[in-house]
């Protein structure tokens, strides 16, 4: 099946009552509902899709000097796609960052929607990974900040 993951950061300052009164319920230039949106089509045919709540995510990668790192990030929700060939694609989210989720099945496959809260900062170190800044490893945060500047 084809799986699409749609992620939106909800603007905590969005005022639905104002939108209803002033613009037929829709957002306006000064009352934006979403600050950004990411959408991913999982590459390949997904055999099974599941949501794993209250789990630990292993954040793995390389330091700039090519040494490997591996950090355990607790309190995560992971969208897990098992492919036809047995490989697994994961989309991890800090559980506390999630405002709402919704799964919609279509004839072609499914779309999983995730809305994130904008009250606390989320670090997005690589495509499809969303970790609260408070939970992100401090030594990696310094590297991440340097890259952003």
Those residues with Cβ within 8 angstroms of residue 19's Cβ, 6 or more apart along the chain or in another chain? 25, 26, 27, 28, 31, 33
- Confirm if 46 and 81 have CB atoms less than 8 A apart: yes
Give the global pTM. Answer: 0.86
The ranges assigned to domains in the chain are 2-148
Digit-coded pLDDT (tens) for 45-61: 999 999 999 999 999 99
Residue tagged 């047995």 (tokens): 86
Residue 148 reports pLDDT greater than 70: no
- The token duo for 51 is 């949501």
> Strands across the sheet with 98-105, in order?
34-41, 2-10, 109-117, 98-105
- Confirm if 93 and 101 have CB atoms less than 8 A apart: no
Cα separation, 79 vs 71, in Å, equals: 19
Digit-coded pLDDT (tens) for 96-118: 999 999 999 988 899 999 999 98
């Amino acid at each position: 099946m084809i799986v699409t993951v749609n992620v939106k950061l909800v603007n905590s300052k969005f005022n639905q009552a104002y939108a209803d009164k002033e613009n037929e319920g829709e957002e306006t230039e000064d009352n934006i509902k979403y600050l950004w949106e990411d959408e991913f089509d999982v590459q390949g045919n997904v055999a099974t899709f599941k949501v794993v709540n209250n789990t630990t995510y292993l954040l793995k990668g390389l330091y700039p000097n090519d040494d490997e790192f591996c950090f355990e990030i607790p309190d995560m929700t992971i969208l897990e796609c098992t492919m036809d060939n047995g490989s697994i694609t994961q989309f991890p989210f800090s559980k506390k960052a999630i405002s709402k989720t919704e799964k919609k099945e279509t004839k072609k496959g499914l779309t999983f929607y995730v809305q994130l809260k904008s009250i606390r900062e989320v670090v997005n170190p690589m495509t499809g990974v969303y970790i609260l800044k408070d939970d992100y490893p401090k030594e990696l945060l310094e590297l991440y900040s340097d890259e952003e500047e």
